[in-house]
Amino acid sequence: MSKLEDIVSLCKRRGFIFPGSDVYGGMAGTWDFGPLGTMLKKNLMDAWWNYFVEKRDDIYGVDAAIIMNPKTWVASGHVATFADPLVECKECKSRFRADKIADGISESVTTDEFIATHTKCPVCGKENWGPIRKFNMMFSTHVGAVLPEDTQDNPELAAKNVAYLRPETAQGIFTNYKNVIDTIYPSLPFGLAQQGKAFRNEISPRDFILRDRECSQMEIEYFVAPATWEENFEKMRAAQHDFLENIIGLNPNHIHELEVSAADRAHYSKRTIDFMFDYPNGEEELMGLAYRTDFDLTNIERESGKSMAYRDKITGETFIPHVIEPSIGVERIFLAVLSTAYTEDEVDGSARIVLKLPSNLAPYKFCVSPLLKNKPELVAKARAVYDQLRQKYTFVTWDDSGNIGKRYRKQDEIGTPKCIVIDFDTLTDDTVTVRDRDTAEQVRIKIADL
């Protein structure tokens, strides 16, 4: 099995991630987080929120609706340009994202350029392609009490009721920029942050949770005076490295910056750095840092007829701020964290799987158990220790399944940093054994010092 398959298997076995709608045979491009995955995901999102919002004085949170006025996506350019190159094999009718099956071509590839790569169909092996067509990735839906028969002969009414599931959280931030200026009027530079779901009808969802049709994003739109964009871009770039490497513990040697060429940049960006990560199946985009200029605010001003100008508090000068945007997919950092933590090693002469998660991310920090579960006095003492810790902390778990060796293996696999074991000595001297997940070393300490 490849390392990615090992991680997928661990995720299902231990309740981190299940295929979406598993009981009905799944739903391509969707995944469900189980009890442990939900905790790890929340810890990741909380770590990001704490680092970028709670600990800073210049970034504020917003939580906007997922379904937005459709004008949003006209103004943002998504209706016109949020599309991937779709190509169909004329032999077997399979459809692919052209830039993902041919080497060395970009998203803006033309039919002639694609044909010249002599790519064979990954399904039937033939080389007989139709033209490249642009496939818009937004999911559309209808809002309000409109029946299909109402719009059958009335395309205008149909168009009027179309809404989209947001393909990025960013627009929920931009559309609230004016509300924030009118209410709390922060000094420039300032940022607005949002975490939440985003939806993309990906042509080929793949690589476990790396490319999904429904994902979660954590984005900041950082508003700056136009002349200061470069220095703020550099500060934001450094902050991303600090978060990824020092807060969630990714190996800096596995993160590579890619300066995105003008041809490959999103329609709104004048400069983009993709932070690439060495995943088990190869290098892939982890997150992006983009200079969006005044693209979005200018478009909103035009579509809404409302001024997006900012009035400088000292000079009184008015202008439309420019924007630096760091954008991270939660599933992508989730997989980066898991691939970093997943380790196979040997302890006491036997092989084990261990998730060496940073303790701030681990679903549980402590596991409490009695050495033997059929000794009522040990169980009662262990319960008392557990209850005492549980009153203070949410991240303590109880485990009295199997024997102690099996419990250690299970806690290693779910990444619990410390196992606290109550044995017969505990009954006389109030000390417990604390076992370290990574070294398997055990120390004896007083319950009062836990």
Residue recorded with tokens 């839906």 = 141
Kindly state the smallest distance separating residue 65's Cβ from ligand GAP, in Å: 17
Q: Of 207-215, 227-235, 293-301, 376-384, which part binds ligand GAP (CB under 6 A)?
A: 207-215
Beta-strand relationship, 431-436 and 442-446: antiparallel
Nearer to ligand GAP, 167 or 189 (CB): 167
Kindly state the smallest distance separating residue 331's Cβ from ligand GAP, in Å: 5
| Contact call for residues 419 and 437 (beta carbons, < 8 A) | yes
- Any idea what DSSP says for residue 27? -
State how far the Cα of 276 lies from the Cα of 328, in Å rounded to an integer. Answer: 11
Residue 221: name the closest of 129, 131, 291 by CA. Answer: 291
Kindly state the smallest distance separating residue 76's Cβ from ligand GAP, in Å: 9
Nearer to ligand GAP, 41 or 200 (CB): 200
Nearer to ligand GAP, 272 or 369 (CB): 272
Nearer to ligand GAP, 189 or 329 (CB): 329
Residues 238-277 that bind ligand GAP (CB under 6 A): none
Q: Candidates 172, 288, 326, 370: give the one binding ligand GAP (CB under 6 A).
A: 288
Q: Candidates 84, 168, 296, 423: give the one binding ligand GAP (CB under 6 A).
A: 168
Residue recorded with tokens 């409490």 = 368
Chain-centroid distance of CA 7 in Å reads 17
Over the window 124 to 163, marking each residue x when it contacts ligand GAP by CB under 6 A and - when it does not, the resulting string is: ----------------------------------------
Residue 139 in 3-state DSSP?
A: coil
First to last CA, the chain: 40
Six-digit token string for 108: 């803006």
Kindly state the smallest distance separating residue 77's Cβ from ligand GAP, in Å: 12
Residue 308: name the closest of 292, 294, 324, 327 by CA. Answer: 294
Residue 218 binds ligand GAP (CB under 6 A) = no
Q: Candidates 165, 260, 287, 362: give the one binding ligand GAP (CB under 6 A).
A: 287
Q: Candidates 84, 331, 412, 423: give the one binding ligand GAP (CB under 6 A).
A: 331
Q: Candidates 102, 170, 236, 434: give the one binding ligand GAP (CB under 6 A).
A: 170
Q: Candidates 84, 99, 219, 278: give the one binding ligand GAP (CB under 6 A).
A: 219
Kindly state the smallest distance separating residue 325's Cβ from ligand GAP, in Å: 6
Kindly state the smallest distance separating residue 9's Cβ from ligand GAP, in Å: 21
State how far the Cα of 260 lies from the Cα of 267, in Å rounded to an integer. Answer: 12
Q: Candidates 191, 329, 370, 417: give the one binding ligand GAP (CB under 6 A).
A: 329
State how far the Cα of 266 lies from the Cα of 84, in Å rounded to an integer. Answer: 11
Q: Candidates 217, 232, 293, 411: give the one binding ligand GAP (CB under 6 A).
A: 217
- Any idea what DSSP says for residue 89? B
| Contact call for residues 395 and 382 (beta carbons, < 8 A) | no
149-177 b/e (C-beta count within 10 Å ≥ 16 → b): eebeeeeeeeeeeebbbbbbbbbbbbbbb
Residue 326 binds ligand GAP (CB under 6 A) = no
State how far the Cα of 199 lies from the Cα of 138, in Å rounded to an integer. Answer: 7
Q: Of 39-47, 214-222, 228-236, 302-310, which part binds ligand GAP (CB under 6 A)?
A: 214-222
Q: Of 68-76, 210-218, 338-346, 390-398, which part binds ligand GAP (CB under 6 A)?
A: 210-218
Q: Per this entry, what is the length of the chain?
A: 450
Residue 84: name the closest of 108, 68, 118 by CA. Answer: 108
Which residue type sits at 216? S
Residue number with the smallest Cβ distance to ligand GAP: 329
State how far the Cα of 212 lies from the Cα of 198, in Å rounded to an integer. Answer: 10
Residue 175 binds ligand GAP (CB under 6 A) = no
Chain-centroid distance of CA 242 in Å reads 17
Kindly state the smallest distance separating residue 405's Cβ from ligand GAP, in Å: 38
Residue 202 binds ligand GAP (CB under 6 A) = yes
| Helices 3-13 & 330-341 angle (0-180, nearest 10) | 100
Residue 332 binds ligand GAP (CB under 6 A) = yes
In this structure, the dihedral spanned by the alpha carbons of residues 165, 270, 87 and 217, taken in order and rounded to 10 degrees, is -30
Residue 215 binds ligand GAP (CB under 6 A) = yes
Residue 212 binds ligand GAP (CB under 6 A) = yes
Nearer to ligand GAP, 219 or 412 (CB): 219
Name the site residues for ligand GAP (rule: CB under 6 A): 168, 170, 200, 202, 211-212, 215, 217, 219, 285, 287-288, 327-329, 331-332
